[in-house]
Amino acid sequence: MNKLVEHLEEVTVRFAGDSGDGMQLVGTQFSDTSGFAGNEVNTFPDYPSEIRAPEGTLYGVSAFQVHFGSKNIHTTGDFVDVLVAMNAASLKVNLANVREQSMIIVNTEGFDERSLKLAGYVRNPLDDGSLSKYQVFGIDMSKELKKAFIEVDVPSKLIQRTKNIFALGVTYWLFNRPLEPTVNWINRKFKGKEDVILANVHALQGGWNFAEKNPDFRKQYIIDKSDMLPGKYRSITGNQAVALGLVVAATKAHLPLFLGSYPITPATDILHAISGYKKYGVKHLQAEDEIAGITSAIGAAFGGSLAVTTTSGPGLSLKTEAIGLAIMTELPLIIVDVQRAGPSTGLPTKTEQSDLMQAMYGRHGEAPLPVLAAASSSDCFDMTLEAARIALKYMTPVMLLTDGYIGQASEPWRIPEIDKLPEIAPQFASDASSFKPYLRNPETLARQWAIPGMQGMEHRIGGLEKEDGSGVVSTDPMNHQKMVELRQKKVDNIANDIPELKVVGEGEGDLLLLSWGSTYGAAKIAVEKMQAEGHKISHAHLRYLNPFPKNLGQVLHKFDRVVIPELNLGQLKNLIQAKYLKPVIGINKVQGKPFKAVELEEKLTVLLSLENLKNWEANKSRQDIPVDL
Amino acid sequence: MKTIIDEIIQRPHIGDVHTTSKDFKPDVDVRWCAGCGAISVLSPAQRLMPELGIPKEKIVFISGIGCSGRFPYYIDTYGFHGIHGRALPIASGLKIARPDLSVWVVTGDGDNMSIGGNHFIHACRRNVDMNVLMFNNEVYSLTKGQYSPTSHRGQVTKSSPLGALDDPFNPVALALGASATFVARGHDKDRAQLQQLLLKAHQHKGFSFVEIYTNCRIFNDGAFDLYTNAESRDDHTVWLEHGKPLVFGKNKDKGIIMDGFTPRIVELTEGGHSINDVLVHNEKDSTLAFILANMTYSETLPRPMGTLQNLDNRSSYDDRVVEQIQHEVETKGAGNLEQLLLGGSYWEV
């Protein structure tokens, strides 16, 4: 049978099923294979906080979205082009985001009476015409698997567990993907379990064959290879990138790595990864609580380790007092906050950018520390190296903000050559005769790092205010003023040691979209699209939040209007307005989900159409101007 | 992976390691109140340090908050004055990262039993090799006199003017219950004895907990007089030493025997009980340690002092960390960073 072939620039596929259906697994495989096939990829796992929610329920639906294409893939995809739904509940939960005319591949077994009832369907949506706007492919996967395994001797129990792999095979056919990467993965994963390997490999091929032979599947889609820089690539999540970044940073600084951490979603994957790096000499302590996580890291920092603690919002709250101690003792420390939707337990598996103010100011006393924010999953690697560089050079704790989205989303990462990455130089004290614990490098204002084992430099530090230079406990009023200002100045000075803010598009004009952290992808795509359509709009992205790049003020004042999209109610907006006295329009979303590029595009289009607001400065006293969109 | 720290760890000490207690006295004034029990712990500690044969750059004192928290400033080693209740995790992180160091923690009954209680039980079970000196004065002193987790029921303090309603922790029993391997109790009125206890704590490989009765002259003066003053302590305490019978009393005329699982006092008189009937202490016996620890708040039995338990059958956590790394390197080879970055599957463009 002759099948048609169509070339597409980008596609979003979403695999959805029960928590136990293996959707995360097939999504990851689809994503890795797409990368292997030369596409840009961006993925997002979307799973419930229940571990194994009751089968068939709406709240038990687990999904994995893969957005891939030949260029400009920086988000997880605004709308779904192909939905794989293993049961009625996963169709119901995910249908709203499926584009009209898109393909929906369903396992018809998951639409029996019980499943329909659990999903709240009165009639079967596969029969009642309600899906007429979509191309629906119903497959009885058990039946088809049975057929596929007629001549293969594998226990039927094993076959039943390969439905997800069968579905993966169907999608591989659809996008003409090679099976080898997944076959290789199956062989590695189930090494020694020959029947499991056979079952999975055969199911994968079975899915492909089914689509190949089935007349309903008329068309294959080809996504051209991306124009990527030459090199070795792998798929990476932000959490993996942080873990790798930490090991590489320690190597580059020639220091041992120590992680003190307590399990918390969505940051725990960093702890998982680091705890497996023993052969790299990495030490970790799964502490009894968040406070012990950071304080053990502070102890390790006192002993000369590159010390790290990883957490998410509620854990960061618990660590705040100890962060003050690290600021006071001026010890290097990396604090990674994989932000999630709060307050309190909030939406623990969902993303948000609402810890910015906590990162900046969430401590008692005047307690400044550098704050960095990674822009994407792979940028988590670079920003982890930056956090280490700044912490060790300036003898300060550094906060690295990521979030549940980029922490768990994956994208291709061009694997760096370790030799070509810059060295990091810790500021160790060397001369015992002149040593004083708070003597500072006149340029960086960093104090010297003397660690136990260095003879003649025995000293005491702690949370009490110290006299500058000598480090002797001091309650002298003027000394306190001096030390508070010194600690602030030390952090402020880092502005001279970070890249300036770059503007994409014209350097001045009407509208600047200023994004930070994980909103990078959606902001970039929205602006590029609007620029291509001829709109006057520029984009700048902040990865350094404290201190800000030193040209930020200049950049802001060159635009009439500045718009900040963020997954909170305007935290960066408030910081910017306070510091630069520049009115900012916020685009704020707190739904536990990242921005879609199209959402930003719509709001920016509205803004551009409000001609009367063009000169914001002249109009800012007016009461009728919308402050936020 | 070779690090700068490896080089620092291996640096030889230049000059004579044998130092005197003077070498451990920094040039600062000790600002505890005159007659404070903490001062009576400082001097045995300063005197013990030269005996350890460890260069002082390898010794670290870590504290939390409270009167005890000032201790590191008064002993010239490396020192870290932490935040309230967190001395133990700071020390744990340091010792795990730097097993070459001799790590000492100085804490108090508020710091360690109340705000730091969670860290305490986990430090006990984890068995990180460190020595914890808990100054117990049964009151919050630095905040000027509130009842603490070791204050007795009915104790009148500023925050319990009508008497505290809480029952106290028995710190040594808590430590035993949380699987601490070395558990001892001393006091501030016998410095030589205390110095011996600190030495034993140091010699024990693993988590060593020493509860030290320290008198607070200002907010709870005399709380331990019965057990610590020379006139009364012999009749009201029993000193526990491995292999020695539990004999006490000014004239060594009383002993402890076991009646089933219940300790009982007997008079050692001619024709009555003899020293051969008396319970002999075995610091390796956890069951016995718990029974003896529970004599603490008895109205009739003497208060147990000395070494309740000293187990050497559990490796320390910091050693296990090192062993796990070594084992991994031996079985799988040292880590190849390039390989780690490549991950499970990669592709080339």
- Which residues, in sequence order, are bridge partners of residue A469? A438
Tens digit of each residue's pLDDT (9 = 90 or more) over A526-559: 999 999 999 999 999 999 999 999 999 999 999 9
Cis amide bond preceding B168, omega within 30:
no
Q: How far is B108 from chain A (nearest CA, A)?
A: 17
Q: Is the pLDDT of residue A620 over 80?
A: no
CB of B129 within 8 A of CB of B85? Answer: no
Is CATH 3.40.50.920 the right assignment for the domain spanning A503-619? yes
Residue from the list A185, A321, A455 with its beta carbon closest to the beta carbon of B83: A321
Distances in whole angstroms, Cα of residue A602 to Cα of each of A9, A95, A526, A606, B119 = 22, 22, 9, 6, 52
Contacts of A229 in chain B (CB under 8 A): 349
pLDDT given for residue B175 in this prediction: 98
Q: Which helix (H) or strand (E) holds B214?
A: none
Q: Could you tell me the CATH superfamily of domain B17-243+281-334?
A: Thiamin diphosphate (ThDP)-binding fold, Pyr/PP domains (3.40.50.970)
Spell out the domain ranges in chain A. 4-221, 235-416, 503-619
Residue from the list A38, A307, A463 with its beta carbon closest to the beta carbon of B82: A463
Q: Would you give the DSSP letter of residue A246? A: H
ipTM of the predicted structure? 0.98
Amino acid of residue B98: R
The mean of the pLDDT values for chain A is 94
pLDDT given for residue B73 in this prediction: 96
Residue from the list B5, B26, B79 with its beta carbon closest to the beta carbon of A255: B5
Report the b/e string of A160-198 with b at 16+ CB within 10 A.
ebbbbbbbbbbbbbbbebebebbeebbeeebeeeeebbb
Fold match between A235-416 and A503-619?
A: yes
Q: 0.90 cut: is pTM over it?
A: yes
Q: Is the pLDDT of residue A618 over 70?
A: no
pLDDT given for residue B17 in this prediction: 86
What does the pLDDT average to over A364-373? 98
Residue A362: is it exposed, middle or buried by C-beta count within 10 angstroms (0-12/13-18/19+)? middle
Q: Would you give the DSSP letter of residue A192? A: T
Q: Would you give the DSSP letter of residue A415? A: P
pLDDT given for residue A629 in this prediction: 66
DSSP string over A31-43: HHHHHHTT-EEEE
Q: How far is B4 from chain A (nearest CA, A)?
A: 6
Of B145, B151, B148, B234, the residue nearest B187 (C-alpha): B234
- CA distance linking residue A587 with residue A535, whole number of Å: 19
pLDDT given for residue B270 in this prediction: 86
pLDDT given for residue A621 in this prediction: 53
Q: Is A278 on the interface with B (CB under 8 A)?
A: yes
Of all residues in chain A, the percent with pLDDT exceeding 70 is 97
Please judge whether B72 and A452 are an interchain contact, meaning their C-beta atoms are less than 8 angstroms apart.
Answer: no
Contacts with B, A 207-236, CB within 8 Å: 228-236
pLDDT given for residue A625 in this prediction: 47
Tokens describing residue B320: 């296990």
Q: Is the pLDDT of residue A624 over 50?
A: no
Tens digit of each residue's pLDDT (9 = 90 or more) over B303-331: 999 999 999 999 999 999 999 999 999 99
Amino acid of residue A309: T
Report the b/e string of A523-555 with b at 16+ CB within 10 A.
bbbbbbbbbeeebebbbbbbbbbbbbbbebbeb
Start-end of H helices in A438-568: 477-493, 520-532, 552-557
CB of B256 within 8 A of CB of B278? Answer: yes
- CA distance linking residue B116 with residue B184, whole number of Å: 19
Q: How far is B226 from chain A (nearest CA, A)?
A: 36
CB of A461 within 8 A of CB of B60? Answer: no
Q: Is the pLDDT of residue A608 over 90?
A: no
Q: How confident is the model at residue A13 (pLDDT cuts 50, 70, 90)?
A: very high
Q: How confident is the model at residue A622 (pLDDT cuts 50, 70, 90)?
A: very low
A22 vs A50, higher pLDDT: A22
Distances in whole angstroms, Cα of residue A413 to Cα of each of A196, A228, B106 = 31, 11, 48
Of all residues in chain A, the percent with pLDDT exceeding 90 is 91
What is the CATH code of the structural domain delimited by A235-416? 3.40.50.970
Contacts of B342 in chain A (CB under 8 A): 232, 234, 415
Tokens describing residue A533: 């359509």
Q: How far is A407 from chain B (nearest CA, A)?
A: 17
Chain B's closest residue to A278, CA to CA, is B325
Tens digit of each residue's pLDDT (9 = 90 or more) over A240-253: 999 999 999 999 99
Q: Which of A51-65, A297-311, A361-375 has the lowest mean pLDDT?
A: A51-65
Q: Which of A216-230, A362-376, B201-215 has the lowest mean pLDDT?
A: A216-230
Q: Is A322 on the interface with B (CB under 8 A)?
A: yes
- CA distance linking residue B183 with residue B173, whole number of Å: 9
Please judge whether B57 and A232 are an interchain contact, meaning their C-beta atoms are less than 8 angstroms apart.
Answer: no
pLDDT given for residue A44 in this prediction: 87
pLDDT given for residue A613 in this prediction: 55
pLDDT given for residue A542 in this prediction: 98
Tens digit of each residue's pLDDT (9 = 90 or more) over A128-176: 999 999 999 999 999 999 999 998 889 989 999 999 999 999 999 999 9
Q: Is the pLDDT of residue A509 over 60?
A: yes
CB of A116 within 8 A of CB of A87? Answer: no
- CA distance linking residue A584 with residue A566, whole number of Å: 12
Contacts of A287 in chain B (CB under 8 A): 89, 122
* CA dihedral of B115, B118, B121, B126, whole degrees rounded to 10: -120
Q: How far is A106 from chain B (nearest CA, A)?
A: 30
Give the position of tokens 């898109």: A102
Regions of chain B where pLDDT drops below 50:
none
Residue B194: is it exposed, middle or buried by C-beta count within 10 angstroms (0-12/13-18/19+)? buried
- CA distance linking residue B316 with residue B314, whole number of Å: 6
- CA distance linking residue B58 with residue B49, whole number of Å: 11
Contacts of A233 in chain B (CB under 8 A): 346-349
Q: Is the pLDDT of residue A51 over 90?
A: no
Distances in whole angstroms, Cα of residue A612 to Cα of each of A101, A513, A556, A608, A627 = 39, 19, 20, 10, 14
- CA distance linking residue B349 with residue B332, whole number of Å: 30
Is CATH 3.30.420.40 the right assignment for the domain spanning A4-221? no
CB of A506 within 8 A of CB of A480? Answer: no
Contacts of B324 in chain A (CB under 8 A): 278
Of B242, B235, B231, B188, the residue nearest B210 (C-alpha): B188
Residues 6+ apart with CB under 8 A from B14: A455
Q: How far is A257 from chain B (nearest CA, A)?
A: 9
Chain A's closest residue to B117, CA to CA, is A288
Please judge whether B57 and A458 are an interchain contact, meaning their C-beta atoms are less than 8 angstroms apart.
Answer: yes
pLDDT given for residue B107 in this prediction: 98
Spell out the domain ranges in chain B. 17-243+281-334, 245-280
Please judge whether B3 and A256 are an interchain contact, meaning their C-beta atoms are less than 8 angstroms apart.
Answer: yes
Interface contacts (A, B; CB < 8 Å): 235
What does the pLDDT average to over A586-599? 95
